[in-house]
Copies of this chain bind each other. A is one copy, B any other.
Amino acid sequence: MVFVLKPNVSKEQTETFMKSWEDKGFSAILSPGTEHTAVCLIGNTANIDMDDVVHTSGIVEYGKRITERYKVAARSVHPDDTVIKVGNAVFDRHHFPVISGPCSVESEEQIIMLARAVKQSGAKILRGGAFKPRSSPYSFQGLGADGLRYLLAAKKDTGLPIVTEIMNQTQLPLFEDVDIIQIGARNMQNFDLLKCAGTAGKPILLKRGPASTIEDLLLSAEYLMVSGCRDVILCERGIRTFETATRNTLDLSSVPLLKQKTHLPVIVDPSHATGIRSLVRPLSHAILAVGADGLMLETHNDPAAALCDGAQSLNLREFDDLMADLKLRSVIERKEV
């Protein structure tokens, strides 16, 4: 149940109102918007008389029952888009920030070189894996804390904000200077990690799991939001189907559908979705055109020699060409790349 407050309600009034519900055993979550502030009530709300609350509270404009299983993430609770700003990147309907970098950080020199190159081409955020989830224990597991340090060096060198994946909650202290914490596809339903990462006070990039429905993804976002994180960036990266020609099946319909169901920004990662370098360019065009709020893709100085996922990484010239494409196309989308 959500109560949309009247304009000009004071912070104190709002807090008193919320506390009155918490005293009755409900959770009350504040959902501020540009025009309306709403209070979302979690608990057994079946017996609450909404009209009565409107009349007696004095500060509520109207109440609404929420039928979705997710609440704070629901567009019906918070009609305005959530706009997330990180450095020069803005995730919203007027922008299309590109996040780029290697699958894995391989050395300090490599990541600094790549950071300079992708920045030069127009990337707004640097990505790079330090802790790598790999199906096999015998695959390269990432450089770990060293990788993180090299990423931070690249950030310092270029000024680009960085996003990198956390694999378990004990790593959180290492992420203090990371700008966006990534929860990977295989950890999308690692609920303890969600609860912990949600408290970090940072934007979180949440990737869709390979067996996760859109509702599952939004419920995982809800875990983050209930834990305190308001800036969740959703990332479609393909689901697992019977089709083996691509690594996963990119579900591009999820983008406009998510934009209807939630106020959170939605970006897409065509590199992991397809696993095939030559598909990244046409799909990036489609991702921009379908209305996504950003793009995440893998680049490498020498894809053939990459320690991980070389087959899906663009080289720097390909990336630069793609960025030029996207800038041209962004005009017609009325978006800024």
Chain A residues with CB under 8 Å of chain B are 42, 69-71, 133-138, 167-170, 186-187, 189-193, 209-211, 213-216, 219-220, 222-223, 226, 239-246, 249-257, 260, 270, 273-274, 276, 278-279, 282-283, 285-291, 328-329, 331-332
Specify which chain B residues have a CB less than 8 angstroms from the CB of A42 in the assembled complex.
Answer: 138
Contact of A253 among B136, B216, B273 (CB under 8 A): B273
Min Cβ gap A80→B in Å is 19
Specify which chain B residues have a CB less than 8 angstroms from the CB of A252 in the assembled complex.
Answer: 250, 252, 283, 286
Residue of B nearest to A72 (CB): B137
Specify which chain B residues have a CB less than 8 angstroms from the CB of A256 in the assembled complex.
Answer: 278-279, 282-283
Specify which chain B residues have a CB less than 8 angstroms from the CB of A136 in the assembled complex.
Answer: 69-70, 219, 222
CA distance A189 to B135 in the complex (A): 7
Is the pair B257, A246 in contact by a Cβ cutoff of 8 Å? yes
Specify which chain B residues have a CB less than 8 angstroms from the CB of A213 in the assembled complex.
Answer: 242-245
Min Cβ gap A77→B in Å is 14
Residue of B nearest to A222 (CB): B137
- Taking A213-B245, A249-B249 as known contacts, 10 extra A-B pairs with beta carbons closer than 8 A to each other, sorted by chain A number, are A137-B191, A137-B222, A137-B223, A190-B190, A211-B240, A215-B245, A239-B249, A249-B253, A250-B253, A285-B291
Contact of A189 among B133, B289, B332 (CB under 8 A): B133
Is the pair B168, A193 in contact by a Cβ cutoff of 8 Å? yes
Q: Which of A253, A270, A273 has the most CB of B within 10 A?
A: A253
With A169-B170, A222-B137, A278-B260 known to touch, is A214 a contact of B332 (CB < 8 Å)?
no
Residue of B nearest to A133 (CB): B191
CA distance A219 to B186 in the complex (A): 14
Residue of B nearest to A43 (CB): B138
Specify which chain B residues have a CB less than 8 angstroms from the CB of A249 in the assembled complex.
Answer: 239, 241, 249, 251, 253
Contact of A286 among B168, B273, B287, B332 (CB under 8 A): B287
Specify which chain B residues have a CB less than 8 angstroms from the CB of A186 in the assembled complex.
Answer: 189-190
CA distance A136 to B217 in the complex (A): 10
Min Cβ gap A208→B in Å is 10
Is the pair A255, B282 in contact by a Cβ cutoff of 8 Å? yes
CA distance A69 to B274 in the complex (A): 22
